[in-house]
Amino acid sequence: MKALFLAAFGLVLAIGPAAADAVVTQKSRAFRPTDVTVNRGEAVTFTNDDSYIHQIYVDGLFDSDEKAPGENLNETFPRSGTFQVRCHIHPTMRMTVHVR
């Protein structure tokens, strides 16, 4: 039992945030966290951990495809500033990415 738990924990670490500089989850029609900070040129991974299709967009920066539950999106933030990230399917979903 203990070995199984350790194996599962190791798996989570192996597939965790290594690929991205920040990870944001879409769950219960909300972004979590609602605020992240990355350096210019770094990427944020958005994970759809919901039972609904989501997408993300930032005015003037990107407008993603729709993603099914369980899918990820990686978006790079090429310039410094404060960016409002939203989902066009659920207008109340919003979060902020600060890029230094």
Which positions lie near Cu ion, rule CB under 5 A? 54, 87, 89-90, 93
CA-wise closest residue to 87 among 52, 55, 47, 64: 55
Smallest distance from the beta carbon of 40 to Cu ion, in angstroms?
A: 26
Q: For 50-90, where are the E strands, in sequence order?
A: 57-58, 62-63, 72-76, 81-86
**Residues facing residue 96 across a β-bridge:** 35, 84
Which tokens go with 54?
A: 């989501």
Residue number, 42 or 90, with CB nearest to Cu ion: 90
Decide whether 42 or 57 has the Cβ nearer to Cu ion. 57
CB of 98 to Cu ion, least distance (A): 21
Nearer to Cu ion, 8 or 68 (CB): 68
Least gap, CB of 68 to Cu ion (angstroms):
12
